[in-house]
C-alpha cells in the first residue's frame, strides 16, 4: 500500500495513502436525546469498524509524521459549529479523523514505534474503555459507586499478586492500592504522604527542611512532583550514577548525601530499593519505588530477583498501560500504610457523601487516595484484561518483546561498528555507533549518533527511535513494546540503522580525504 501523503482535501474522497472506510447514511439531527440507544448502536458500529481498520493498516503510516507546526489548525474552522454541520455530522467528523487527524499523528500503536516505552493496547482494554465511558460512573466514594470501589480493590490485589508484589502492599496484607492516571500522579501522592508523615513528627513549620533524593536517571516527573508538594528546589538531591555501575543508584552515594544533609540539620528522602532501604531506614525516610515500565516485566517470575527488597518499601507504582495491555491511562499505586496516604490527601466528608451501609466499617473512599476527587472507573478495563488474557497471556506478551529486544541487542553486538552502551534490561536496548579514531574518535561520537538518529527517523515508514544523554554519552534507544511489533519489524529496523550508519561513515571518510588533500 502506498505511503500516505501529507496534503489533504476535506471532501471525503479516498486519499493517496491509507484509506479507512467511513460508513455514511442519513442520521436524524440530534435533539435532547443525547443518549439515544438507536443512534449509539449505529454510530458505535461505525467507530468499531473504523478502529478495526486502523489496527489492520496502522503499519502503513509513517510512524512519525512529516508535518509543520499549525498544519491541522489551518485546515479546521476557527469556531465550533453552532448547529450540526450536516444530516450526517458524525460520519463527516469521522472522515476528518481519517483524512486530517490520523496522518498527522505519531502512531504509538504502529509496529515500528521503538522510540518510547510502550503505550500498549489490546482490543479488550479498548472495549473496556468504551464500557467505562458508556456507563460513566464517578467512584470517588464507596457510596457513590459501591461496585466500582470494590472491583478496584479486587483488581489491585489481583494485579499485585500477578506482579509478585509483597503482601504488605496489598489489601490482603494490610496495605492497599488504587488505580490512577499516570506515574506522575502516583509520585505526587507518595511525596505528599511522605511529607505529611514526616511533618507530623517534626512539626509543620519545618517543611523547608525536608529533602528528597533520587538518581540522576529518575524521570523528571519526580522533580516536578516534589516542587508541587512544596519541597524547596534547593532540597532536591539528584545523585550521580556511572556507566561502570550500569547507571544504578549507589547505596554508598545515597548514604553520603543523606549524612551530609543530616550534618547540616536536614531530613527525609524518597527513592528506590533493597540496600537503599537500609540506608533510608537510618534516617526515618519514606521510600517510594517508581517502576513505571519495568514492573510490568515482573509478571514473569524469571525477573523477580531484580526487585528484591520491595517488601519493606512504603509505596510502589507502575503503569499497567506501559506493557500489560491496559491502554492509556492506567497507573497502579500501592501503599504499605494506607492511613498515611488518607491522612495526607483525605477530605472531611459531607453528610451527603455518607451511606448508612458503610457506617461502622473501615470503608475505602478513593477520593482520599489521590489528588483528584472526580475519577474514572479504570478497574473495569484491567479486570477485563486479566479475565480475557489471564496472567499467562500477559507473560507471553512480555516475553515475546524481551526476546525481540535480545535479538536486536545481539545484532548490535555482532557489528563491530556499534556498541551496546548499557546492558539490556527487559526490552530496551541502548546503543550507539562508534566513531572511528581516524574520524575523531570519542570526541565526534555524540554528534555522529545525533545525525544517525535523524537519518533513521527520516526513513520512510519507520523505524522511529529516540535518544538519551547519560554520563555525557549520546545513545540511541530501541524500546520494543508495541502490541503489533513482530520479529520482522525489529529486523527491518536494524537494517535501516546499519544502512544509515554506513552512509554516514562514508560521508565522513570522504570529508576527511578532502580535508587531507
Q: Which of 278-292, 303-317, 415-429 holds the top average pLDDT?
A: 415-429
**What does the pLDDT read at residue 275?**
66
CATH topology assigned to domain 32-107: dopa decarboxylase, N-terminal domain (1.20.1340)
Is residue 480 within 8 Å of 397, Cβ to Cβ?
no
Residues of the chain with CATH 3.40.640.10: 138-377
- Per-residue pLDDT tens digits for 50-104: 999 999 999 999 999 989 999 999 999 999 999 888 888 999 999 999 999 999 9
How many C-beta neighbours within 10 Å does residue 299 have?
A: 23
Residues of the chain with CATH 3.90.1150.10: 392-516
Q: What's the pLDDT band for 191 if we cut at 50, 70, 90?
A: very high
Sign (positive or negative) of CA dihedral 339, 342, 344, 346: negative
User: How far does Cα 511 stand from its chain's mean position?
Assistant: 42
Cβ contacts of residue 303 below 8 Å, gap of 6+?
A: 297, 426
CATH class for the region spanning 392-516: alpha beta
Is residue 18 within 8 Å of 1, Cβ to Cβ?
yes
pTM of the model: 0.84
CATH topology assigned to domain 138-377: 3.40.640
**What does the pLDDT read at residue 400?**
96
Q: Is the pLDDT of residue 18 over 60?
A: no
The cell for 125 is: 482494554
Amino acid at each position: 500500500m502506498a505511503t500516505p501523503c501529507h496534503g489533504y482535501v476535506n471532501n471525503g474522497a479516498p486519499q493517496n495513502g491509507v484509506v479507512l472506510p467511513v460508513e455514511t447514511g442519513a442520521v436524524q439531527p440530534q435533539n435532547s436525546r443525547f443518549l439515544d440507544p438507536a443512534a449509539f448502536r449505529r454510530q458505535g458500529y461505525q467507530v468499531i469498524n473504523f478502529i478495526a481498520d486502523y489496527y489492520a493498516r496502522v503499519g502503513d503510516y509513517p510512524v512519525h509524521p512529516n508535518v509543520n507546526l499549525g498544519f491541522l489548525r489551518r485546515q479546521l474552522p476557527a469556531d465550533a459549529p453552532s448547529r450540526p454541520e450536516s444530516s450526517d455530522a458524525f460520519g463527516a467528523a469521522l472522515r476528518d479523523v481519517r483524512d486530517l487527524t490520523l496522518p498527522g499523528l505519531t502512531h504509538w500503536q504502529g509496529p515500528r514505534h521503538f522510540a518510547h516505552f510502550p503505550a500498549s493496547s489490546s482490543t479488550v482494554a479498548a472495549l473496556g474503555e468504551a464500557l467505562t465511558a458508556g456507563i460513566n460512573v464517578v467512584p470517588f466514594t464507596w457510596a457513590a459507586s459501591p461496585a466500582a470501589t470494590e472491583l478496584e480493590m479486587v483488581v489491585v490485589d489481583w494485579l499485585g499478586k500477578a506482579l509478585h508484589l509483597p503482601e504488605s502492599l496489598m489489601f490482603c496484607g494490610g496495605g492497599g492500592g488504587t488505580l490512577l492516571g499516570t506515574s506522575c500522579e502516583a509520585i505526587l501522592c507518595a511525596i505528599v504522604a511522605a511529607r505529611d508523615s514526616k511533618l507530623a513528627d517534626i512539626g509543620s513549620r519545618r517543611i523547608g527542611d525536608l529533602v528528597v533524593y533520587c538518581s540522576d536517571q529518575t524521570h523528571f516527573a519526580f522533580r516536578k512532583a516534589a516542587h508541587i508538594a512544596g519541597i524547596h528546589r534547593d532540597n532536591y538531591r539528584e545523585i550521580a550514577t556511572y556507566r561502570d555501575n550500569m547507571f544504578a543508584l549507589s547505596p554508598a552515594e545515597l548514604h553520603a548525601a543523606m549524612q551530609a544533609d543530616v550534618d547540616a540539620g536536614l531530613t527525609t528522602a524518597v527513592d528506590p530499593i533493597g540496600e537503599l532501604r537500609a540506608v533510608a531506614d537510618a534516617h526515618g525516610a519514606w521510600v517510594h519505588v517508581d517502576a513505571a515500565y519495568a514492573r510490568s516485566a515482573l509478571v514473569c517470575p524469571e525477573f523477580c530477583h531484580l526487585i528484591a527488597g520491595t517488601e519493606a518499601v512504603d509505596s510502589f507504582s507502575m503503569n499497567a498501560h506501559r506493557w500489560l495491555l491496559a491502554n492509556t491511562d492506567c497507573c497502579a499505586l500501592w501503599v504499605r500504610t494506607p492511613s498515611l496516604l488518607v491522612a495526607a490527601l483525605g477530605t472531611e466528608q459531607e453528610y451527603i457523601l455518607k451511606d448508612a451501609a458503610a457506617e461502622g466499617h473501615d470503608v475505602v473512599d478513593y477520593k482520599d487516595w489521590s489528588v483528584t476527587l472526580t475519577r474514572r472507573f479504570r478497574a473495569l478495563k484491567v479486570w477485563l484484561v486479566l479475565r480475557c488474557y489471564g496472567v499467562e497471556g500477559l507473560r507471553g506478551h512480555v516475553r515475546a518483546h524481551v526476546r525481540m529486544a535480545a535479538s536486536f541487542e545481539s545484532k548490535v553486538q555482532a557489528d563491530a561498528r556499534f556498541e551496546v552502551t548499557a546492558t539490556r534490561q527487559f526490552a530496551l536496548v541502548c546503543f550507539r555507533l562508534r566513531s572511528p579514531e581516524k574520524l575523531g574518535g570519542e570526541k565526534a561520537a555524540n554528534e555522529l549518533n545525533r545525525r544517525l538518529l535523524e537519518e533513521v527517523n527520516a526513513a520512510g515508514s519507520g523505524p522511529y527511535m529516540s535518544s538519551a544523554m547519560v554520563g555525557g554519552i549520546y545513545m540511541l534507544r530501541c524500546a520494543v513494546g508495541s502490541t503489533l511489533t513482530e520479529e520482522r519489524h525489529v529486523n527491518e529496523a536494524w537494517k535501516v540503522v546499519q544502512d544509515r550508519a554506513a552512509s554516514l561513515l562514508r560521508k565522513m571518510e570522504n570529508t576527511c580525504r578532502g580535508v587531507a588533500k
